[in-house]
Amino acid sequence: MSVDAGAWLPRFACPECGTVFDAGDSACLACGGCGREYRRQDGVWRFLTPARAAQLDAFVRQYRIVREREGRRQTSPEYYRQLPAVPARDPYAGDWRIRRETYAHLLRRVLAPGQPSSRVLDLGAGSGWLAHRLSSLGHRVVAVDALDDEADGLGAVRHYPTAIVAVHADFDALPFAPAQFDLVVFNGSLHYAPDAGATLARARTMLDAGGTLVVMDSPMFRADRDGAAMVARGPLESPGRGYLTFDGLQASASALHMEPEFVPSRGSLAWRTRRRLARLRLGRAPAAFGLWVAR
């Protein structure tokens, strides 16, 4: 079972008042600033306060329903351990091919073999598949998500043999002291943020000097109208816009004095063909997926 006992731990901070404390060997942390308590239960650090849980409740409940309806919530340990690889017969094999391609971009462009191990913050980690892959390569990984259930949420980290620090929290109220990560990755998640620019700015404070921000596999568009048209037909009401634009990401990088680049993930020929046909049918540009990197 994957637990963080005996493994590297980040320096935690109260997500409400910012007071920094050292976890040490304790499974219960008391904030000296505001008196709140945070516990480690079932292998997951619990930093999602009741007030923030209430704010996210409608979205989380709807997200689970949609994922259940689409058949994306799994219970097999072997399924999780193989991600981002899935059988060819998997109904979402095309989507996972994109995830594999983007993951390969991450390894080539950011975490190339031979480099020292990195301290990675995986935001919107879901089942923790990326955290598992990176920790198996020797990186020290913290996986953060607002979903903690065992199917499709942080509870799935119990399936992995590697050490992952799982943290139940809102990525707009991160429970960490600043400047202690080499890489912050938004793992198919930044488009859910109510204000993506502000969320990126907060994530930037988590980076040590010379650190890197990454956005993986959020739907990206050149024009707002195409993103809005996609969201209007979608099954999920996001607390954010539900998509990102390249201009918006460029503006965020400029404000943070970082240089961005985008590496697209193109998928199979059949996948690209279906998307071209969908463009004609829907009358909008399809979303781009891939790896956005800012240094």
Break the chain into its structural domains and give their ranges: 40-294
pLDDT at 85: 96
Among 132, 36, 26, 49, CA closest to 83: 132
Is residue 74 very low, low, confident or very high in pLDDT (cuts 50, 70, 90)?
Answer: confident
- Helix 196-204 × helix 246-255 angle, to 10°: 40
pLDDT digits (tens, 9 = 90+) for 226-279: 999 999 988 888 889 999 999 999 999 999 999 999 999 988 787 777 777 777
Q: Residue 1 pLDDT more than 50?
A: no
pLDDT at 8: 83
Tell me the average pLDDT across 107-115. Answer: 90
**Which residues, 6 or more positions from 142, have their beta carbon under 8 angstroms from its beta carbon?**
10, 119, 120, 121, 122, 131, 164, 165, 167, 176, 181
Is residue 109 very low, low, confident or very high in pLDDT (cuts 50, 70, 90)?
Answer: very high
| DSSP H or E stretch at residue 221 | strand 220-221
Q: Classify residue 229 as exposed, middle or buried by CB count within 10 Å of its CB (0-12, 13-18, 19+).
A: middle
Q: How many CB atoms lie within 10 A of CB 179?
A: 13
Give 40-294's CATH code, choosing from 3.40.50.10420, 3.40.50.620, 3.40.50.1220, 3.40.50.150.
3.40.50.150
pLDDT at 161: 94
Q: How many CB atoms lie within 10 A of CB 268?
A: 13
Q: Which residue has the tokens 């568009």?
A: 221
Q: How many CB atoms lie within 10 A of CB 58?
A: 11
pLDDT at 276: 77
**Which residues, 6 or more positions from 277, have their beta carbon under 8 angstroms from its beta carbon?**
none
Kindly report the pTM of this predicted structure: 0.93
Lowest-pLDDT choice from 63-77, 135-149, 190-204, 210-224 = 63-77
pLDDT at 23: 67
Do 292 and 215 meet the contact criterion of CB atoms below 8 Å apart?
yes
Q: How many CB atoms lie within 10 A of CB 194?
A: 12
**Which residues, 6 or more positions from 151, have their beta carbon under 8 angstroms from its beta carbon?**
73, 74, 75
Among 177, 69, 174, CA closest to 124: 174
Alpha carbons 59 and 7: distance in angstroms, whole number: 33
Is residue 31 very low, low, confident or very high in pLDDT (cuts 50, 70, 90)?
Answer: very high
Is residue 5 very low, low, confident or very high in pLDDT (cuts 50, 70, 90)?
Answer: very low
Q: Residue 106 pLDDT more than 80?
A: yes
pLDDT at 73: 82
pLDDT digits (tens, 9 = 90+) for 133-178: 999 999 999 999 999 998 889 999 999 999 999 999 999 999 999 9
Burial 106-136 (b: 16+ CB within 10 A, else e): beeebbeeeeeebbbbbbbbbbbbbbbbbbe
Q: Residue 2 pLDDT more than 80?
A: no
